[in-house]
Chain A
Amino acid sequence: MPQIQVTPLGAGQDVGRSCILVSIGGKNVMLDCGMHMGYNDDRRFPDFSYITQNSRLTEFLDCVIISHFHLDHCGALPYMSEMVGFDGPIYMTHPTKAICPILLEDYRKITVDKKGETNFFTSQMIKDCMKKVVAVNLLQTVQVDDELEIKAYYAGHVLGAAMFQIKVGLESVVYTGDYNMTPDRHLGAAWIDKCRPDILISESTYATTIRDSKRCRERDFLKKVHETVERGGKVLIPVFALGRAQELCILLETFWDRMNLKAPIYFSTGLTEKANHYYKLFITWTNQKIRKTFVQRNMFEFKHIKAFDRSYADNPGPMVVFATPGMLHAGQSLHIFKKWAGNEKNMVIMPGYCVQGTVGHKILSGQKKLEMEGRQTLEVKMQVEYMSFSAHADAKGIMQLIRMAEPRSVLLVHGEAKKMEFLKQKIEQEFNINCFMPANGETATTVTNPSVPVDIALSLLKREAALGPLPDPKKPRTMHGTLIMKDNQSLRLVAPEQALKELGLSEHQLRFTCRVQVQNPQSEQDTLNTIYSHLKSVLKEHSIQHLPDGTVMVESILIKVSAAAEEPSTKILLVSWSYQDEELGGYLCTLLRKGLPQSTG
């Protein structure tokens, strides 16, 4: 039976990273290759030993697909391609290709330089990995090889995020990655057509979450900034080069006038060039509104946001500063943090996850006293705020997506099956489809029932059409034809005569003959007449003819009478039919064996 197998790689129930293997139509595809940010050792990488114990992955995988640039989806990519080994194609959208290496490099720096880790990929590995990347456009069908094709759909969530359809013949799978069904200030909502995949793969956590609106998160950010600035304090926002920084700048810029904020807003220089680059990508990927508002702008020029200079950190009075790097582990953001930490009027807003060991992680854990270089202690009196701005789909969103794509079944990863019975029932009852929930490391197998398309010869179609009304999908009708499969490619249904001609075969006819003995004193001729009358009275629906050459024909079945040589009152009836009339022929034999009615004269 044709089947599709899906295995989420990873141990236990941990959610932190995405890496899913799909086997479809004889092809093996890896969906995402994420890093688990919570671990400091090899557990942060997916366990590739499931695929192969010792060798490279190239021969086992046909391709790798990366949905978007978040590290829990692409963080392990250089490790996989350069340290474990994969030389095949890696597919992702253009913005993802542009942004991924920057984030990977930033992350590498923190892990290796700051924490002195050794089993980690190098800068060169990141570069080598990106050389294997093939960028794809939205809604463009990409042929990976003769049989495997993929297509990217807009997912919202972050710049460049896509949902992917993987298709082999008529079997297909859609992987959602991270997506969002509600448009926000910068990005539109995810969209997919009624592609009816065999399986729709998504995150189980979405289905069990009811999300607070993006506006409320933004409100919280604006309120905290406003309050701090009003009391004369300074706000530090450590950011990575790309992504959140631009989003928050747009937010502050949009509301600055309305909120009547007077304090200056600064953006550290390291961010500006990369931001321009980001912006160019942004325009094609973002929604209508942003395009209208920002297409006139000359890249990253805001009315209220200016470039930062180191010396400004010592200026009195309120201000807001966006500075890199994002986890306060080094550089400008840490420098500013040290200056401002001692004043309780100030605030630091962390817009994302911080890795263990960084100052960011420590203050988010509530630490108030930090040990700095040279045994110096820093007392943290400034207010610490941890905010989450990620736009993810939720319970309502996943139902909407299922309604859009109309999959034959749904598969949810990273959930505990026992804790998801309700969800399973909900999806199964609402859409009348199966819902699977494999544990990490466990394989879920779906049996598919793909239709096999066959070309039918016009003459055969016409013949069938002439037989009566066209068949109804609810009432299929059997038909006769010959299926020709050539070169393992095309399948054609043709009339038998045509098939014989094409194949250069001659037709064989099969005829059966049966001898029936009956007792009848009449002459041969009279016996034949008796048979004729008898059959005519019994088989009213069939055509029965008495031919001049001395045979009775029932449909196309021939009956001849001859007297037995030794006993003239024993008559031997020869009943002959071609195999198409097998049923009637057999019936006639049985009927005649019962004997003939005695004639009365």
Chain B
Amino acid sequence: MEEDALKEDELDDWLIESIKLYSDLHVFELQETTQVIEWTGEKSICVAGSKSGSRNEILELALPQRLYSKQNQGLCPERDFKVVHGGFSDRPISCLKHIRGTRILVSSGPPDSSLQLWQIGADDSDVIKPLHCIHNKEHTKKWSRIATSASGSPCVLHGSEVKDIQVTDLESKKAIYSLDTDNADSVSSLELLSKDEFLLCSGRGHLWLVDMRQPGSLATPCTVLPQGEGLHWCMGIRNRLSESDAASSRVARLSSSGHVLVTDMRDARSPLCQAKLNLSCESSDYNIMTVTWAPAFDDCLAVSGFNGKVHIYNTKSWIPAFTEEEPLFIHKGHAIAEGPDDWRSAVVTTHVWHPWKPRTLLSAATNGSLHVWDWIDQKMES
């Protein structure tokens, strides 16, 4: 009972503190921890269970009115998510992507590199139905990363190791492109920039811009990295402006030791800027490291997966030299969220930005919590 009282007090303290930190805060508790949050429309997201050895749920949730109304937000009392579609998966879901313009989802997860396709709401029902599987040309025991096209062409880019990366056409279920290389590094992140180009980041941090129109084997990676064996890297792409602008993407690469390199693909030989973030990996799972760019807040980055917090940085002031940088904002809520007893050790599994609200993010953690928060930029306020 004593512990309960302490926890209640701590939650109340957080409540008071949060009044000054957030203009809006929503805290939800999912039945299962999710490692994915994927937008399936302007007003809906998908989450999915990641437990191994048991059945997992894939849920499509409709946003509460408060989170998508563009005016009169004060007149919307609805603060809850609604489960609009649901389905069951036998395997844990580590990666989930939506094919824009369709009601199709693609997922992957242990124990192998195959992909599963799903149909949301077939026959006007609320079921997310499994369709079929796609296999990489080489079957591995690592789960595949997936990238879908922004323009909504029905194809998917996927791979678990660099050498098995391919683009599969969803209608014919056939591979229409595959990478010619025997590089067996693990794939950490993939991003389809246009129908002809994609960006690839390996677990070791090497970055490639691949043009599918140019045959031939994989070139040497774009930039050279500061060395550090055993480090894991992932990447985040700043919002694609248009198809023709693909090569002008800005890429942020994040290492498990808290190093961030920002590269402009127009001149990928050296980083645009970089920073040493005061973050150490408390979790043993490198796969949940996430770095993303804000779609509606220029030069703003979010980083998570190291602990129970989400860190926001403004890269505008960053310089090419390797310097320590402080965050603009830290979301601590997950470690204080109302959850089971091991809430202190919660680790953030994923985060995404709201497509048009500049400072709103959605984040999830290992204790099943799902938060939606709109942070206040203290620098602007003062």
Contact = CB atoms under 8 A, between A and B. Distances in A.
Contacts of B86: 422-423, 426
Contact of B87 (A211, A254, A422): A422
Given A208-B82, A364-B75, A216 B29 contact: no
A422 B127 contact: yes
A217 B81 contact: no
A326 to B, nearest CB: 14
Which has the most chain A C-beta neighbours within 10 Å: B18, B29, B370? B29
A383 B86 CA distance: 38
B23 to A, nearest CB: 8
B18 A219 contact: yes
B346 interface: no
B16 A366 contact: no
Contacts of A215: 11-12, 15, 27, 338
A420 B84 CA distance: 9
B85 A217 contact: no
B138 to A, nearest CB: 35
Given A212-B28, A216-B27, A387-B77, A222 B338 contact: no
A395 B75 CA distance: 25
Given A219-B18, A219-B19, A384 B31 contact: no
- B interface SS class: mixed
Interface residues of A, number: 45
B277 interface: no
B19 A211 contact: no
Contact of B25 (A209, A219, A388): A219
Nearest to B30: A210
Contacts of A210: 28-30, 61, 80-83, 370
Contacts of A258: 16
Contact of A209 (B27, B83, B85, B87): B83
A366 B83 contact: no
Nearest to B31: A396
Interface in A232-286: 254-255, 258-259
B341 interface: no
A218 B8 CA distance: 14
A209 B81 contact: yes
A182 B64 CA distance: 20
B325 to A, nearest CB: 30
A255 B16 contact: yes
Given A387-B77, A426-B86, A213 B72 contact: no
A366 B75 contact: yes
B26 A388 contact: no
A480 interface: no
Interface residues of B, number: 44
A217 B15 CA distance: 10
Given A366-B72, A421-B126, A216 B26 contact: yes
A259 B16 contact: yes
B127 A421 contact: yes
Nearest to A390: B77
- A interface SS class: helix
Interface in B36-74: 55, 57, 61, 64, 72, 74
B16 A429 contact: no
Contact of B15 (A219, A288, A384, A394): A219
Contacts of B128: 422
B318 interface: no
A486 interface: no
B344 interface: no
B125 A388 contact: no
Nearest to A182: B338
Interface string B1-33: 100010010011001101100001111111100
B19 A216 contact: no
B342 interface: no
B381 interface: no
Nearest to A347: B74
B88 interface: yes
Contact of B126 (A209, A259, A395, A420): A420
A580 interface: no
Contacts of B16: 222, 255, 258-259
A212 B30 contact: no
B76 interface: yes
B78 interface: yes
Contact of A423 (B31, B72, B126): B126
A540 interface: no
A218 B16 CA distance: 10
A394 B86 CA distance: 15
Contacts of A226: 19
A397 to B, nearest CB: 10
6 contacts: A216-B79, A254-B12, A258-B16, A399-B31, A418-B126, A422-B126
Interface of A: 182, 207-213, 215-220, 222-223, 226, 254-255, 258-259, 288-289, 364-366, 383-388, 394-396, 399, 418-423, 425-426, 429
A-B pairs, top 5 by smallest CB distance, nearest first, are A422-B86, A388-B77, A212-B79, A210-B81, A213-B27
Interface of B: 1, 5, 8, 11-12, 15-16, 18-19, 24-31, 55, 57, 61, 64, 72, 74-88, 124-128, 338, 370
Given A220-B24, A429-B55, 6 more contacts: A223-B19, A289-B5, A365-B75, A384-B74, A388-B77, A420-B126
